[in-house]
Amino acid sequence: MLVVVSGAIFLEGIDIGMLNVALPAIRADLGLSTATLSGIVSAYVLGYGGFMLLGGRAADLLGRRRMFVVWLGVFLVFSGLGGFADGGGVLLLARFVTGVAAAFLTPAGLSVLTTTFPQGPRRDRAVLVYSGIAAGGFSLGVVAGGLLAAVGWRWVFFAPVALAAVLLAAAVRVLPRDPARPAKRSGFDLAGAVTVTAGMVLLVYGVVRLEHPRDGTPTTAGVLAAGAALLTLFVAVERRSASPLVRLGILRSSPLVRANLGAALLTSSFFGFQFVVTLYLQELRGWSSLETGLALLVLGADVVLAPLLTPVLVRRFGNVRVVLGGFVIATVAYVLFLGVGAEWPYAAMLPSFALLALAIGLTYGPLVSAATDGVQAEEQGLAGGLVNTSFQLGAALGISGVTAVQVAALGAATSASALLASYQAALVVPAVAAAAGVVVALAGVRAGRDR
């Protein structure tokens, strides 16, 4: 079961990594505009981030195994559809539905894991294995995408189909069956489902628009305001609902809130940093996508560190202190890279990459554990949806933040020195986000001492 669930989160991570590397090849073959190419990435983010909370609650209400199997099948079909695309419209549809499928699949898988393993050391170790494989999927996806794109970009879509088919066949056999549902069921909170999904879609769309400040700041502000208004309406609906989609009392848990905030800061810093480094290596240094993927491969070391080193440290020091150590290491890694030069050798970059791999291995799994520990079994899907929403929003905010800073710093300049200076300015964003993560983790350590 752990292999199947971890395989699904690995599939989701490697799918994103492979597509990002293959975008130039897709553009060259299909003649897509820059807006359409950006939309292919944004469509997945909209589906994933917008439907994650609904997906998490659906696993609790409709059955975790059922949601996992059904949406893994949807993921398989629409990933294959992307491989047959002959234009931007089909790709946009395929990526949006694939994102929606991942939004239902991911919290269902995590809740299967957290409800099968009893709370304690065994669950902690299982979650750390799961989280290490999840984090390693994206890093390995960058390399795999470079290799597959060299053969043909369509294989970036067909390869996940093969893996999804194997996982689907195994899931039917090994995932525990959902418990029988009671005969009397309370009504479904349709108003809550509509408002939270619409609000999250608008919020994520607004965050994605921040990457393109020249597209219209007033419009972006309006989208964000509309998303916030719908989420406020969602809270009002839930307070009055006899069978709320999300029990608001779960948000009164300070450890859960800190874990979700830490999750957002972790992915904000990591994805923002990786985005800037990719641009630096390819645009300024002229490295190929495959060379860039191989350079960043060391970031995938967390797939080994998370299940081997992190459980030992968690048993000795606890989740919160390990997370604190991870954020401190991440901050050091980002600060070391602030002095990046136009002719930096790879040996100068390697310390930051290695430290960052260690930091991700120390923080990702313990944050997931902290976000699900102490939550009742019937709300594990919701807890998984919350933490994955935090990861996704953090990643979108991180990429938007570094993009906005880089564009503002570059202005109309086109020289290599101006480009380098704009990257140096953007790299401050992940360093600040990691430092904020240190503050959040310190608050958790202090709260533990007070208790």
The domain locations on the chain are 2-175+243-450
Q: How far is residue 388's CA from residue 263's CA, in Å, rounded to a whole number?
A: 8
- Contact present, 106 and 55 (Cβ < 8 Å): yes
- Contact present, 144 and 163 (Cβ < 8 Å): no
- Contact present, 4 and 171 (Cβ < 8 Å): yes
* DSSP states of 324-343: HHHHHHHHHHHHHHTT--TT
Residue 181, pLDDT score: 62
Q: How far is residue 269's CA from residue 387's CA, in Å, rounded to a whole number?
A: 16
* DSSP states of 265-292: HHHHHHHHHHHHHHHIIIIIS---HHHH
**Splitting the chain (451 residues) into consecutive groups of 10 residues, what average pLDDT does each group show?**
93 82 80 73 81 85 92 95 90 92 92 88 85 77 78 90 95 88 57 84 79 66 89 88 78 88 93 86 83 82 78 88 96 95 92 93 89 82 85 83 85 84 94 96 84 59
All residues at 6 or more sequence positions from 414 whose CB lies less than 8 Å from its CB, including other chains: none
Q: Token pair for residue 255?
A: 């450890």
Domain 2-175+243-450 carries which CATH code? 1.20.1250.20
Question: CA–CA distance from 125 to each of 2, 147, 240, 310 (Å)?
Answer: 11, 32, 39, 9
Q: How far is residue 336's CA from residue 210's CA, in Å, rounded to a whole number?
A: 27
Q: What does the DSSP 8-state code read for residue 123?
A: H
Q: Which residue has the tokens 């990429």?
A: 399
Nearest partner of 373 among 128, 57, 87, judged by Cα: 128
Q: Which residue has the tokens 């020195």?
A: 417
Residue 90, pLDDT score: 92
Residue 127, pLDDT score: 85
Residue 401, pLDDT score: 85
What angle, 0 to 180 degrees and rounded to 10, lies between the N-to-C axes of helices 346-372 and 121-151?
140
Nearest partner of 420 among 322, 344, 320, 308, judged by Cα: 344
Nearest partner of 367 among 399, 301, 300, 321, judged by Cα: 321
Q: How far is residue 390's CA from residue 384's CA, in Å, rounded to a whole number?
A: 10
User: Half-sphere exposure of 32 toward its Cβ, with a 13 Å CA cutoff?
Assistant: 22
Residue 184, pLDDT score: 45
The whole-model pTM stands at: 0.83
Q: Token pair for residue 274?
A: 């990786």
- Contact present, 46 and 96 (Cβ < 8 Å): yes
Q: Find the distance separating the first CA and the last CA of the chain, reported in whole Å.
A: 36
Q: How far is residue 112's CA from residue 381's CA, in Å, rounded to a whole number?
A: 8
Residue 183, pLDDT score: 43
All residues at 6 or more sequence positions from 24 whose CB lies less than 8 Å from its CB, including other chains: 289
